[in-house]
Structure 1
Amino acid sequence: MNPLNRSAPALSIRQLLICGAAIVTLSMGVRHGFGLWLSPITMERGWTRETFAFAMAVQNLVWGLAGPLVGLLADRHGALRVLSAGALLYALGLAGMALAGAPTAFLLSSGGLIGLAQAGTTYAVVYGVIGRNVPAERRSWAMGLTAAAGSFGQFLMVPLASGLIDRLGWQQALLLLAGSVLLILPLAWGLREAPRPAGAAGGPAAQGAGAAIREALGERRFLLLTAGYFVCGFQVVFIGVHLPSYLRDHGLGPEVATGALALIGLFNVIGTYVAGLIGQRHSKPRLLAAIYALRSVVIVVFLLAPLSALSVYLFAAAMGLLWLSTVPPTNALVAQIFGVRHLSMLGGTVFLSHQLGSFLGVWLGGWLYDHQGRYDSVWGLCIALGVLAALLNLPVRETPLARLRPAAG
């Protein structure tokens, strides 16, 4: 047991949600604005869009690959150390991103360090604490509320980042953000957990981490959820990073892109919170299928409509409602099916698939643009994958595994 947690009191739900939401607001808020740096960095450094996009792709890949291990550490030793290390890595990565003068240094800082940092400061770690400390009947709501906080971070931080870039330049803006993520350090103390007796937290004491992951990978429902999450990552990271440049290519000013990303964040506050409420009362697999299908519909309408600032803002609002609304029902399903003893690790494993999709979406966007001069092919992939993800989630059943069900009679 982590010695820092020995004297930790039992977490109140209010304390957990306030600190967890604030942490996700900072970590996700900074992350959502990275697309604003694509044009200024590539123009000043003389790099291609693929150079920037590949670094962002590696960031998402490292985030995903580190997720299961980081989740295992948080499940075993508590979230405090993981969150603290993640905050320090985040600050170092943002500073390195600002100062890197060569593509390799930029890749190591923005891709490697920030990817590791995000694994330790975002949903998998925070949701593990929520799962262990919030009753099952309120878990989906609590996860939705925390995801909504991350969305508010996007709404808050994207305009702030854009203003900092305009007033101070892109390098100074990154350095200021590096200082801001250090606020995660004091907030992490609000997520210290009291020691848990063996066998508590939703699983038999005999089941170790290796057995838990083998059990999950042998369960068809886990694989379907994982495959659907790949699509989520592909869509949102492609749009988040490449939408500003797509709009610029079509003659719209940077203020339109800033407004669009902020609107995605604002409406995502609503979408994720409502998704948490709906998932608490209705079928989570059907909710996920509807979200993925609606994303494809929204993209089709956006591409067919005449492009203008108004159409961009309407697209951003609609997509915002669907942006991270997959997160609460997906994680709540994992907890409901497998229990919460290894929730951070299993959530990190599902999220690895999300980040593989993110890697492919952001890198492929840059690669195809450099080779074709347009984003049409990637938009088409977003539409097709959304339909596929909807079909994958429909067969998922919500019943817990047999070992977690109460005995009859």
Structure 2
Amino acid sequence: MKRLSPAAVVIAAGGLVIALSFGARSIFGIVLDPISAEYGWPREVFSISIALQNLVWGLAQPVFGRIADRFGDRRALMIGLVLYLAGMLLSAFGTTPLAQHLGAGVLVGFGVAGTGFGIVLSLVGRATPEAGRSRAMGTAAAIGSGGQMLMPLLAGSLTEAFGWQTAMLAITGLLLPMLLCIPLLKPAAQPEDADDPEIPLGRLLRGAFAQSSYLLLTMGFFVCGFHVGFLAAHLPPYVAEVCGSVTLGAATLSIIGAANVAGTYLFGRLGAVVPKPFVLSGIYAMRAVVILGFLAVTPTPLTVIVFSLAMGLFWLPTVPLTSALVATIFGARNMGMLYGFVFLSHQVGSFLGVWMGGRIYDATGNYDWMWWISIALAVFSALVHLPVREARVRIAAA
């Protein structure tokens, strides 16, 4: 039997880590209503917990990126896993808003930062040559999308059969296989990155933020976070409300996850032959078209499924493309920290998407304003990616 290459092992093991990490965090929109109903909270309370999770994830991403760059990726992953498990357990047993804010919000936010896209795709970037980096990152992200395809369905079924707490504990247990994957993540530096010097943090950040392409990427990724945060937290309860089916609400995230496997893989390959900024611009433009089309029809189970499939194609191929651009512009060695700041913008957008969704719903009784804001932001991001230059910039170490 032919043995997998070291790069293939990193891609496969990294994809599974992303699948478990991203799949577990995708269930919070499913348990939003059951938790709120059990404790008599308005929808905004647990929405704040999910919003905090997204914000902490973003704030912690540069920190974990620096830990990975300086002290090793696997150390960062193990720290993240321990915090993730602690947060999930606290959320499962927490009976107050403060406990949920700390568990589902702060600790899970740290956990996803340490085990999610930021760290794993940096590993994949260092394990693959630049010519195949976009394709490799797209493959790892596509494998990772399987978690969102399967775990929401499992969580939805367990919630209906046994209650939200049992669902939370079961999903917590599914994080443990990361312990088998993390030791396999040992990438070797690629020749084209061997001459990249270690740059002091202050100089690295000043040099990066002086580049207009980096600033535009950061601005555009904010929009991705807003869309993903809003839909992951509020699409399941919205569908449960307009279609009268909790199961269909949970299934929307699984359908999005399934379509995202194909979309992430295909756009990752497209980014290897077409300038990545143009691919990103097209993805955001299509998000605007898909949301506008959804608003133009009466919500039914069929239109919800079609919307979920269409949105899933453009869901998270932005992540490997954006991270590959950061690696292309600044080199894979310094990618962890610099991608961390771009991702922070993404998570600020996620925080606002989740929180504003709950706030606007409680104030108006619907999500109409959120849909139109999402369309406007998609158009904005489509435009700001067009001037991004896919060219290497070298920052002097001293």
What is the TM-score when the length of structure 1 is the normalising length?
0.93
Selected match of 1:201 from 193, 196, 199: 193
Identify the residue that residue 283 of structure 1 maps to in structure 2.
Answer: 275
Identify the residue that residue 55 of structure 2 maps to in structure 1.
Answer: 61
The AA in structure 2 aligned to 1:36 is: I
Identify the residue that residue 335 of structure 1 maps to in structure 2.
Answer: 327
Looking at structure 1, the residues matched to 112 and 337 of structure 2 have their Cα atoms a distance apart, in angstroms, of 15
Looking at structure 1, the residues matched to 256 and 78 of structure 2 have their Cα atoms a distance apart, in angstroms, of 29
Identify the residue that residue 214 of structure 1 maps to in structure 2.
Answer: 206
The AA in structure 1 aligned to 2:271 is: G
More divergent stretch after superposition (70-79 vs 357-366): 70-79
1:309 matches 2:301? yes
Deviation at 1:203, TM superposition (A): 5.3
Task: Tell me the alpha carbon deviations over residues 350-393 of structure 1, each in whole angstroms, 9 at most, x when there is no partner.
Answer: 10000000000000000111111111111110000000000000
Q: Residue 264 of structure 1 contacts residue 321 of structure 1 at CA under 8 Å; is this kept in 2? A: yes
Q: Residue 75 of structure 1 contacts residue 128 of structure 1 at CA under 8 Å; is this kept in 2? A: no
Q: Residue 158 of structure 1 contacts residue 261 of structure 1 at CA under 8 Å; is this kept in 2? A: yes
Selected match of 1:14 from 8, 19, 28: 8
Selected match of 1:76 from 57, 70, 86: 70
More divergent stretch after superposition (170-179 vs 101-110): 170-179
Give the aligned CA root-mean-square deviation in angstroms. Answer: 1.8
Identify the residue that residue 316 of structure 2 maps to in structure 1.
Answer: 324
Identify the residue that residue 146 of structure 1 maps to in structure 2.
Answer: 140
Identity %: 44
Secondary structure of the equivalent of 1:282? coil
Looking at structure 1, the residues matched to 134 and 69 of structure 2 have their Cα atoms a distance apart, in angstroms, of 19
Looking at structure 1, the residues matched to 254 and 169 of structure 2 have their Cα atoms a distance apart, in angstroms, of 21
The AA in structure 2 aligned to 1:64 is: G
The AA in structure 1 aligned to 2:314 is: L
Secondary structure of the equivalent of 1:255? helix
Deviation at 1:251, TM superposition (A): 3.7
Q: Residue 83 of structure 1 contacts residue 185 of structure 1 at CA under 8 Å; is this kept in 2? A: no
1:267 matches 2:259? yes
Looking at structure 2, the residues matched to 108 and 206 of structure 1 have their Cα atoms a distance apart, in angstroms, of 35
Q: Residue 202 of structure 1 contacts residue 340 of structure 1 at CA under 8 Å; is this kept in 2? A: no
Unaligned runs of 5+ in 2: none
Looking at structure 2, the residues matched to 138 and 206 of structure 1 have their Cα atoms a distance apart, in angstroms, of 24
Q: Residue 275 of structure 1 contacts residue 328 of structure 1 at CA under 8 Å; is this kept in 2? A: no
Identify the residue that residue 358 of structure 1 maps to in structure 2.
Answer: 350
1:367 matches 2:368? no
Identify the residue that residue 6 of structure 1 maps to in structure 2.
Answer: none
Selected match of 1:380 from 338, 355, 372: 372
Q: Residue 67 of structure 1 contacts residue 351 of structure 1 at CA under 8 Å; is this kept in 2? A: yes
The AA in structure 1 aligned to 2:213 is: R
Deviation at 1:202, TM superposition (A): 5.2
The AA in structure 2 aligned to 1:114 is: V
Q: Residue 151 of structure 2 contacts residue 171 of structure 2 at CA under 8 Å; is this kept in 1? A: no
Identify the residue that residue 178 of structure 1 maps to in structure 2.
Answer: 172
More divergent stretch after superposition (299-308 vs 241-250): 241-250
Looking at structure 1, the residues matched to 337 and 197 of structure 2 have their Cα atoms a distance apart, in angstroms, of 16
Identify the residue that residue 291 of structure 2 maps to in structure 1.
Answer: 299
Deviation at 1:254, TM superposition (A): 1.2
Deviation at 1:256, TM superposition (A): 1.7
Looking at structure 1, the residues matched to 336 and 195 of structure 2 have their Cα atoms a distance apart, in angstroms, of 13
The AA in structure 1 aligned to 2:272 is: Q
Q: Residue 252 of structure 1 contacts residue 309 of structure 1 at CA under 8 Å; is this kept in 2? A: no
1:169 matches 2:201? no
Looking at structure 1, the residues matched to 74 and 313 of structure 2 have their Cα atoms a distance apart, in angstroms, of 31
Looking at structure 1, the residues matched to 68 and 85 of structure 2 have their Cα atoms a distance apart, in angstroms, of 20
1:92 matches 2:89? no
The AA in structure 2 aligned to 1:123 is: F
Deviation at 1:182, TM superposition (A): 2.0
Q: Residue 124 of structure 1 contacts residue 345 of structure 1 at CA under 8 Å; is this kept in 2? A: no
1:387-406 to structure 2, matched below 5 A, reads: 387-401=379-393
What is the TM-score when the length of structure 2 is the normalising length?
0.95
Task: Tell me the alpha carbon deviations over residues 128-164 of structure 1, each in whole angstroms, 9 at most, x when there is no partner.
Answer: 1111120111100010011111211111111111122
Looking at structure 2, the residues matched to 392 and 234 of structure 1 have their Cα atoms a distance apart, in angstroms, of 16
Identify the residue that residue 43 of structure 1 maps to in structure 2.
Answer: 37
Task: Tell me the alpha carbon deviations over residues 293-320 of structure 1, each in whole angstroms, 9 at most, x when there is no partner.
Answer: 1001100100111211000000000000
Secondary structure of the equivalent of 2:109? helix
Looking at structure 2, the residues matched to 32 and 163 of structure 1 have their Cα atoms a distance apart, in angstroms, of 14
1:106 matches 2:100? yes
Unaligned runs of 5+ in 1: 1-10, 405-409
Selected match of 2:114 from 115, 120, 129: 120
Looking at structure 1, the residues matched to 119 and 98 of structure 2 have their Cα atoms a distance apart, in angstroms, of 29
More divergent stretch after superposition (183-192 vs 40-49): 183-192
Task: Tell me the alpha carbon deviations over residues 240-294 of structure 1, each in whole angstroms, 9 at most, x when there is no partner.
Answer: 1101111223243112212221110000000000111000111110100000010
Secondary structure of the equivalent of 1:281? coil
Deviation at 1:345, TM superposition (A): 1.0
